Amino acid sequence: MSFGGQTVTFVTLTDSGNPNRLGMKPQTSTEVPVAGCLFRPLSVKEVVGVNTDIATEIWKCTAPPVPAALAAKASGQLQVDGETYEIMGDPKPHPDLSGAIHHVTIMCQKQAG
């Protein structure tokens, strides 16, 4: 099933190894490309302060109900055309009239500034 012509790479980050001196474990990433996705911008918000200027872009990914999309977590990332986006919340599966999962929606963001 295809919702668009884009391939989105789902990145799962996993803690591994021994903690460093700050108590943080190094992370390893697992990348799974998913074809047939539709990835589009929803909104942009800019916050300007005295010494800051931060733009937050919100993006929406509609993907086929493959295991990588269904297992996405808020700690993961999406990569599209060389850009990395942070996943916001858990994926939202959408059933069809028979109750089978038709597609999955994943919200994500990218910040710059």
Look at residue 69 in the predicted model and tell me its pLDDT: 96
Q: What is the DSSP letter of 69?
A: H
Look at residue 102 in the predicted model and tell me its pLDDT: 95
Question: Where do the domains of the chain lie, and which CATH numbers do they carry?
Answer: 6-112 (2.40.10.270)
Look at residue 52 in the predicted model and tell me its pLDDT: 84
Look at residue 14 in the predicted model and tell me its pLDDT: 83
The CA–CA distances, whole Å, from 18 to 21, 26, 84, 111 equal 10, 7, 26, 30
The percent of residues in the chain predicted with pLDDT above 90, rounded, is 71
How far apart are the two ends of the chain, measured CA to CA in Å? 37
**pLDDT below 50 — which residues of the chain?**
none
Give the other-Cβ count within 10 Å of 56's Cβ. 14
Using alpha carbons only, how large is the chain's radius of gyration in Å? 16
Interatomic CA distance for residues 90 and 105, integer angstroms: 9
| Contact between residue 19 and residue 43 where contact means Cβ atoms under 8 Å apart | no
